[in-house]
Chain A
Amino acid sequence: MEIVVCIKQVPDTTEIKINPVTGTLIRDGVPSIMNPDDKGGLEMALRMKDEYGAHVTVITMGPPQADLVLREALAMGADDAILLTDRKFAGADTLATSNALAGALRTLKWDLIITGRQAIDGDTAQVGPQIAEHLGIPQISYVANLARKSENEFLVKKETEEGYQMLEVSAPCLLTVLASANKARYMSVPGIVDAYNKEVQLWSAAMIDVDETKLGLKGSPTKVLKAFAKGMKQAGQVYEVEPEEAVGLIISKLQEKFII
């Protein structure tokens, strides 16, 4: 079984602070990590490998320093790693990103493609389904569990707001996986040594199967008009009143805000 896992290097958003004076993000010193949902997806692939002997390739699109998450994936047990890196990929929105990844995937063999549900920096959850559409294969999102029924048939648990669904699908298929699906393994020491003996393949835009006008800023239908910090909250009004009056006040404010 061939599995390709799409991963992303992201800033650890829980470590981002806001400068209280300027209201801007402080990004210095914020560590880069493997996106948690992607790690859940990688772990799911590695468990298939442990059980059935799959070959696991990891791929990411990003700047040269994204090499680090690929090494981490190799140290966890992935077999091959590909870094899509080219100025032509820069400024991509989700559609252009999915075009690049789909372009790379067209040149690879796979039975399953696994992505994280969403990345913690963008939180869009769009790239996985967009890749599946470009490749003309089915997708199952919000995946909490994957079980193999036969050589190429799978039983997939998808989480929903009310509970979950059990879905059946045959390979080829794309899954977007939740971080909560499993507990990802740590890198092993021999794995870490190995990871640095392996080659991370560097792929440019010319090496993938996609029309270049669909990449990067040019290939992005959405554009960011402006980005701004949410800003520090202003204190509201404080009232020193009798309980009866306080209750009336609270109720009228809640009605004003359509909360009740």
Chain B
Amino acid sequence: MNKTDFKNVYVFAEQREGVIQPVALELIGKANDLAKELGEKVVAVLAGYKMDALAQTLIEYGADEVIKIDHPNLEHYLTEQYAQAIDQVIKHFRPSIVLFGATTIGRDLAPRLSARMSTGLTADCTKLEISENKELMMTRPAFGGNLMATIMCTEHRPQMSTVRPGVMQKLTPDSSRKGVITPFEVQFDESKFKVKLVEIVKEDKGKIDISEAKILVSGGRGVGCKENFENLRQLAAQLGAEVSASRAVVDSGIMPHDRQVGQTGKTVRPNLYLALGISGAIQHLAGMEESDFIVAINKDKFAPIFQVADVGIVGDVNKIVPLLTQRLEGMMKK
């Protein structure tokens, strides 16, 4: 293998029923950083059926080129159909890097491809960088998030990874951005299509899993009565967040147990954790200290929650929260 034959950063532009998945746009954003350091292009691979407008969207979000595969076989995601399509794209264009979202689709497709091409794949990355030798450095959590590992794939191409949704940043879309759309024809071997889709069922999963939430508005004893929790719900609605609670609040019956954060509740690691009126018992901290960004509001300036908070505010949650909601509301309107 001659590494110089492999060029450009490819992103699998995952779409479902004609909707580009947010992680695909996040990956295009990250691919721009990587491509810049390598002096290469960002190429999005869009596979599906009748997705005319989507290629332009990918360009607006930073793709220099979109390889578009439009075929009825690709209307819904099925492993073998998509594996054949992406495999042929990779063999034809020889990218140096291919990124997938770590979704139920990306985590099904990417390993199948890595085995087909005998190349490495790193799962669920949270950080991607380029080394001095122009190799991809992929960092990911392991051991239940207790350990981070940086992984490389120096002797094989392409270098592939799945990337956790919600970690990388999208670019601001720019409709003046120019890009090339390249249609690509796949030669399908339909004799290998062994799995038949019978039905797709969408569920309003009803039960909210707070450990899946990107933003948590979490209330503790300091919030006080049940009525005050309404303030938290309104703030959560503004942020697209879920409401969670400390043990004290759950024990008093204000919130159900499935909303409890901490040792006896759930371990959460959202992008933003708002700890409101939570003092921060060690059992609570154990359940939330891995959150990416923690804002705490508490009356007691010695509350242990401030030791893990990125931003701490000494004050009354019941005064600050309604104000914050109001201000966010104003911002959204603009």
Contact = CB atoms under 8 A, between A and B. Distances in A.
B143 A125 contact: no
A173 B194 contact: yes
B202 interface: yes
Task: Label chain B's interface by main secondary structure.
Answer: mixed
Contacts of B154: 223
A163 B200 contact: yes
Given A130-B112, A133-B112, A235-B308, A260 B239 contact: yes
A164 B201 contact: yes
Given A121-B143, A225-B151, A169 B196 contact: yes
Contacts of A254: 272, 293, 295
Interface residues of A, number: 80
Contacts of B79: 129, 138-141
Contacts of B297: 246
Interface string A136-157: 0111111000000000000100
Contacts of B239: 260
Interface in B126-173: 137, 141-156, 169
Interface string A24-49: 01000000000000000000000000
B152 A133 contact: no
Given A16-B144, A125-B111, A126-B123, A170 B323 contact: no
B311 A253 contact: yes
Main secondary structure of the interface of A (DSSP, over half): mixed
B237 to A, nearest CB: 13
A251 B106 CA distance: 34
A214 to B, nearest CB: 8
Interface in A138-189: 138-142, 155, 158-170, 173
A243 B152 contact: no
A233 to B, nearest CB: 5
A249 B16 CA distance: 38
Interface stretch (A67-75, A93-101, A103-111, A199-207): A93-101
Contacts of A94: 111, 114, 121, 123
Contacts of B272: 254, 257, 259
Given A126-B121, A130-B111, A222-B120, A240 B301 contact: yes
A160 B143 contact: no
A197 interface: no
Interface string B269-296: 0011000000000000000011011110
Contact of A155 (B104, B114, B146, B198): B198
A95 B150 contact: no
Contacts of B116: 133
Nearest to B193: A138
Nearest to A173: B194
A60 B332 CA distance: 54
Contacts of A128: 111
A246 B320 contact: yes
Interface string B71-91: 000000001100100000000
Nearest to B291: A233
Q: Among A220, A227, A243, find the residue whose CB has the most chain B CB atoms closer than 10 A.
A: A243
Interface in A180-239: 220-230, 233, 235-239
A163 to B, nearest CB: 4
B147 to A, nearest CB: 6
Contacts of B309: 235-236, 238
30 contacts: A13-B144, A18-B146, A95-B120, A95-B121, A122-B123, A123-B123, A124-B111, A125-B111, A127-B111, A142-B104, A159-B104, A160-B104, A161-B104, A163-B201, A167-B197, A167-B198, A168-B196, A221-B156, A222-B153, A230-B141, A235-B307, A237-B312, A238-B301, A239-B311, A243-B316, A247-B323, A248-B327, A257-B272, A260-B328, A260-B331
Interface of A: 11, 13-14, 16, 18, 25, 93-95, 98, 120-134, 137-142, 155, 158-170, 173, 220-230, 233, 235-244, 246-251, 253-254, 257-260
Given A133-B111, A259-B272, 20 more contacts: A16-B143, A94-B121, A98-B115, A121-B142, A123-B123, A124-B111, A129-B111, A131-B115, A159-B104, A166-B201, A168-B195, A170-B194, A224-B151, A227-B150, A228-B148, A230-B148, A237-B312, A243-B319, A246-B313, A251-B328
